[in-house]
Structure formats: structure tokens, C-alpha cells
Amino acid sequence: MTRMQPPTTGPGGAGRDDEGGFASPPCLAARIAPDYFDPLAVDAQQARDVARWRKAQREELLARRAALSIAQRQAAAAAIATALDELLAEHLPDIRGRVVAGYWPIRSEPDLRPWLARLHERGAIPALPEVERPASPLVFRPWHPGAAMRRGHWNIPVPANTETVKPDVVLAPLVGWDGSGYRLGYGGGYFDRTLAARRPLAFGTGLQAARLATIYPQPHDIRLAAIVTECGVQYRGRA
């Protein structure tokens, strides 16, 4: 995995190589104990620089996305849904009984609820994520069109039921993405924590215009299985 410095590395950041000085890098540690995360395994200055750079990128990408028309967003969502069908057919030809986690769109995210509704008709079990506890992995609850909802963390609507399911596939909405399969989200680290704890197939969904040269992957960032935009499948990981 390539680790790069952000462009704004300050004093004490560039050239230091603190990674590898610990017996167990955090990516392996997370497999042993999913909640384990060692902030000392990365250079503190570099981690701060990356966090600052990501915050600025998020703001710009979110502002650009918000400026799109509803028609542009709907066209993008329809094209993303077509590419997702292609990916699902490759990975899970029989979708019946499989749990597919989407998301309830916020902040101009492509609305893939119609796609989830079609999967429901085909016998799959759609699910939506919920932040049940801050700084913990997401939980997933079954959902179907018309299901009763309530407001969750950040006011995001979540299914009112208290059941939890284990997704076979998880859609991870992208604020930004890069050609190596890495994702920039809203900065809570929720998807990374979720994917570290369990390994469902994770497909990133977002706009082509949200592509960055790199997101400067950090030890906690987990590569997605695929990235899908309105231009089709943009990244495929090795199975």
C-alpha cells in the first residue's frame, strides 16, 4: 500500500518514517481486535496534515456536488445503478436472501433507493446504516420501501426497527475517491471502522467529478472492492 505525504507537510513531518516501528501495524491489529487502533503508529504531524487537507477537500467537493441540478443528480444516480447491477451480477449472481446495505441520501448524495427497491423486488434484503454509538462501527437494519423511519445520529433517517443484519454488500457513499480504490467520506471514520471489523463487499458510489489524484491513504483507510460513478466501474480490486 502506498503511503504518501500530503502537500502541506510542516516541520517534523516530511521524511520521518515512524511507520513500521511497532510490532503490529494497525491494519493487522484491526483484524485481530476490530476496535484496536494505534494512533502512535503514524507520524502525528503527518496525520494532522492529512486531516487538514482532507477537511479542505471535503468542503470543496461537497460545495461542487451541491451546485448540481436535480436532473443532473438523478441522471448520475440512474447510471450508477446500472453499473452496480453489472458489479452485483459479477460478484453475487443470485441475490435472493442477500443483504445489500445502501444509504438514505443526505447532502446531495446520489439517491440509490430506487435501486434498493428493485433489489427488494428481486428477493434481496436491503439495509441502511445507523451510527448507534459514536466512534464505533455502523450497525445495519433491514429496510424496504415505505418502512417506518426515525431520526438517527446527524439527523439521518434510519429504519425504526431494532433488528440488525450482516450485509453481504455495503455501498459506501463517496465525498471523494482515488484511482487506487480509496474513499473520502464525511470525516467520521465510520465506514473504515465498519469494514475493519467485518469484511463485506464494499462498493463506493459517487460522482466522477469527485476523483482526486490520491486521498493520501492512512493506515486506517480501507480499500474498497470497487468504485462506481456515472461513468461506470472506475476501480476493481482483486477478488
Ligand X SMILES: Nc1nc2c(c(=O)[nH]1)N(C=O)[C@@H](CNc1ccc(C(=O)N[C@@H](CCC(=O)O)C(=O)O)cc1)CN2
Ligand Y SMILES: Nc1ncnc2c1ncn2[C@@H]1O[C@H](COP(=O)(O)OP(=O)(O)OP(=O)(O)O)[C@@H](O)[C@H]1O
* DSSP strands (E only) in the chain: 99-101, 125-130, 139-142, 149-151, 157-159, 169-173, 176-178, 183-184, 201-205, 211-212, 226-229, 232-236
Q: By C-beta, is 41 or 95 nearer to ligand Y?
A: 41
Q: Residue 185 interacts with ligand Y (CB under 6 A)?
A: yes
The one among 13, 29, 43, 54 contacting ligand Y by CB under 6 A: 54
**Cα within 13 Å of Cα(55), Cβ side:** 7
Distance from C-alpha of 31 to C-alpha of 199, rounded to nearest angstrom = 10
CB of 20 to ligand X, least distance (A): 26
Of these partners, ligand X, ligand Y, none, which one is at the site of residue 192 (CB under 5 to 8 Å by kind)? ligand Y
Nearer to ligand X, 129 or 181 (CB): 129
Q: What's the grid cell of residue 47? A: 496525520
Among ligand Y, ligand X, none, the one that 131 touches (CB under a kind-dependent 5 to 8 A) is ligand X
User: Where along the sequence are the contacts to ligand X (CB under 6 A)?
Assistant: 103-106, 109, 129, 131, 138, 153-154, 156, 173, 185-188, 190-191
Tell me the three state secondary structure of residue 83: helix
DSSP line for 125-152: EEEEEE--STTS--EEEE--TT--EEE-
Distance of closest approach, residue 203 Cβ to ligand Y, in angstroms = 14
For residue 88, state whether it binds ligand Y (rule: CB under 6 A): no
Q: Could you give phi then psi for residue 238, rounded to 5 degrees?
A: -75, 135
CB 188, CB 162: distance < 8 Å: no
Position 182 contacts ligand Y (CB under 6 A) = no
Nearest by Cα to 110 from 70, 83, 149: 70
Q: Report in angstroms how near the CB of residue 148 gets to ligand Y at its nearest.
A: 25
**167 vs 185, beta carbon nearer ligand Y:** 185
Stretch that binds ligand Y, among 122-130, 140-148, 181-189, 228-236 (CB under 6 A): 181-189
Which residues are near ligand Y by CB under 6 A?
30, 37, 51, 54, 184-193, 196, 220-221
